[in-house]
Structure 1
């Protein structure tokens, strides 16, 4: 094959890849919502241990041989390793990190971690689930500080975490059923798929294992709002999330659902590199339309506020072994900037839209901190996270709407049943009284 023909072939592959990548977003704006029907060769590409030869010939691939973030940097884990409860808890409001046996995720391409480990554009097609902020299980906390790797410090036998790059149907995906291009009305189907996957996994004790499920959706909904304002309203967005939570509530015992509020999508227009502008026009042209800029900001805030009001209304706190808790750590997470005021592109994949590994790690850490913070006092900017917050002897549980109340009674950290110590004290008092009587 001549050099000119090889270049044309590589260019055609690149264009095809970009079309496939854009398809996941475009399909979310159509009336009939279906999961992406990618060609078989693309699924095979995702699950291969190494990139095929033609992929390596694409322009820019040479960066794949360079060192990736975090390089030699490691992150110290400074929380004391608190043990699991003395007996398996029956209440989600008394759930310690070490009590969690399974982690899972619902969502879109941010949950499937598209492009998290990418250095050139076509790699954004890869779903780096092993680096996902929630279920990512590659390496350990020291190099990959995700929620899953934090939980593995407390419970090394954690199940459901994701590894490497893979399709949502791959065993390596674990219990992460996030799919690129998904919108809120896809979530009920994902919730059913997650329940079935957990039932079918022989390593999961479906009835007794405690589960942490992250739910993160909304980028594609917001980016389709200007083309279908009724279907992509804040009310419909929240409705479909609640429908998914109801499916989990009715079908998944012993579950804590961490519901993550949407990020500030309107700020993508700050990234003004030509490639960024091109990709944003493919992903989210609504954010680039200056004629609706104020309206787009308003709908973003409506998404955040409507969902937060619904989740914090305690509608999902009607039984003791289930809760949904709103994590607002993205509500005020503005575009990361360098000292000169320009965007810090290191937080983004090469398409200037998806999260890089660096962003996934920071996101995972602040989500963890949100669960360690009382409802109503939770951090809303993940760029401000410096250290992990740790469970303590005075409050060893993940915070919920219920146990955030000032009057919530915390059990003694020893794990002794609450009624034993008063009974012992009464017995000692009785014995002392008898001794005094005999001495008289």
Structure 2
């Protein structure tokens, strides 16, 4: 029993140390990540995991949980009409239907790696549930695991690159998910190079011809370290590092749409209070939590500055100079807050046992919200998630394309422009033009107030 308790304490220490020492993480050299990797390997290879679990604090939760209950409480129905792929492979990133996407990838930190997503109690936080991550996971199917990958598989069952099961950043099961726990914006260039090399080396991927969707989500760790180095973790540096990563993709990855998700309001998790929550939140994000009201307001203003700087960088046209590449900001987390139950209490079910990372339920909701953002025009995208609405949002058959900065502008669809590279699709309808115009005007009016 003493050995088991020692292992349990070691797990907690490694988790906290790896977070506290995560600056400028390098997967090959960082001592914390090496310790992390060794510990997980030991758990998987040398420990009778089932017997060990029974003797650890919290096992009752693990033992009693339903094994096949969908994270959102019920199986979903994919109610969208079938949208076939383009008759010919498109040459423009602004005329891409969901079924045209053949490869999916992901970049980011522990939220992209999905640490603890399937966890019921603390030791399982070590595991990266790649198959559950909202932007990339391919476990099961849409009905029980509505991630972006599983939504796209409804349109193209032959989608490649999604992650499954649990696995380290270098495992085969992670596939094209290069998300690395502890990473910050400064690590995005390395992740971009890594992703490019993995895709080029994969014999199942036609690198030059397959259309790709990459989702980049980073910033939580930058915000959580801001008080340690205000200059290094400034909004300007945050955007600069992401730009460097995006330009590697821009220069080296053809036929690609990149989703960039605006950073989450990490200070929101402070409402999730319990002794374990306090310990892990302090370990993961001391700069953002347990603040005075004035400090909280300043931190939330910093988060807003991150979001606005990133939005300006992505919408200013610098990534729209190539016909087969574009970057789109997806802001559904900008104003998202912790969900509450009907009784008015914070809903812990959206979070892992550390009260910081997302649970399978949180990832499932995130997948639905990311997809919804992708089929909303720029200027009219939702900035909050809607946990009370868990049905999939369907693209319009009148406008079957993924929205980009360019095709969200009505002038892109003027008669002087070629309507499509597909023989079956006509010019955009007046109704969608009106929708885009109204969304843009609404956004403009909102910013003036």
Equivalent of 1:306 in 264, 288, 309: 309
Instruction: Measure the CA separation in 2 of the matches of 1:199 and 1:267.
Output: 39
Q: Distance in 1 between matches of 2:278 and 2:36?
A: 27
Alpha-carbon offset, residue 278 of structure 1: 1.1
Aligned to 1:297: 300
**C-alpha distance 357-391 of structure 1, shift in aligned 2 (>3 A):** same
Q: Which segments of 5 or more consecutive residues in structure 2 lack a partner in the other structure?
A: 428-449
Q: Normalising by the residue count of structure 2, what TM-score does the alignment of the two structures yield?
A: 0.87
Does the 8 Å CA contact 2:25/2:182 hold for their aligned counterparts? no
Find the residue that maps to 2:258 and give its secondary structure: strand
Give the CA RMSD over aligned residues. Answer: 2.3
Structure possessing the higher radius of gyration over alpha carbons: 1
Residue 294 of structure 1 and its aligned partner are, at CA, apart by 2.1
Q: 1: distance between equivalents of 2:53 and 2:260?
A: 37
Q: Give distance in 1, aligned partners of 2:265 and 2:250.
A: 29
Q: Trace 1:204-243 onto structure 2 (pairs within 5 A).
A: 204-243=205-244
- Taking the aligned partners of 2:265 and 2:229, their CA distance within structure 1 comes to 19
Which residue of the partner structure matches residue 34 of structure 2? 37
Name the structure 2 match of 1:64: 62
Asked if structure 2 preserves the Cα contact closer than 8 Å seen for 1:393 and 1:413, the reply is no
* 1:188-337 → structure 2 map (5 Å cutoff): 188-291=189-292, 292-337=295-340
Alignment equivalent of 1:362, drawn from 359, 362, 365: 365
Matched-pair contact (CA < 8 Å) for 1:394–1:413: no
Give me the whole-angstrom Cα distance separating, in 2, the residues matched to 1:50 and 1:82.
48
Match of 1:389 among 388, 393, 397: 393
Identify the range of structure 1 (20-29 vs 281-290) with the bigger mean alpha-carbon deviation.
20-29
Distance in 1 (CA, whole Å) between partners of 2:153 and 2:351 is: 26
Please, what TM-score do these two structures have when normalized by structure 1?
0.89
Match of 1:158 in 2: 159
In the alignment, the residues of structure 1 paired with residue 61 and residue 425 of structure 2 have an alpha-carbon distance, to the nearest angstrom, of 58
Cα distance, 1:413 vs structure 2: 9.9
Contact 1:260–1:326 under 8 Å retained in 2: yes
**Structure 1: segments with no counterpart, 5+ residues:** 1-5, 420-440
Match of 1:436 in 2: none
For residues 313-364 of structure 1, give each alpha carbon's deviation from its aligned partner in whole angstroms, at most 9, with x where no partner exists: 1110000000000000001111111223221000000000000000101111
Partner of 1:19: 13
Number of paired residues? 413
Query: Aligned equivalents of 1:208 and 1:394: distance in 2?
Result: 26
In structure 1, what is the Cα distance between the partners aligned to 2:309 and 2:217? 15
Secondary structure of 1:323's counterpart equals: strand
Shift of 1:56: 4.5
Q: Measure, in 1, the Cα distance between the counterparts of 2:309 and 2:141.
A: 36
Distance apart, 1:298 and its partner CA: 1.1
Which whole-Å CA distance do the structure 1 matches of 2:206 and 2:421 have between them?
26
What is the CA–CA distance in structure 2 between the aligned matches of 1:39 and 1:267, rounded to whole Å? Answer: 27
Q: Distance in 2 between matches of 1:325 and 1:173?
A: 24
Does 403-412 or 81-90 show the bigger shift? 403-412
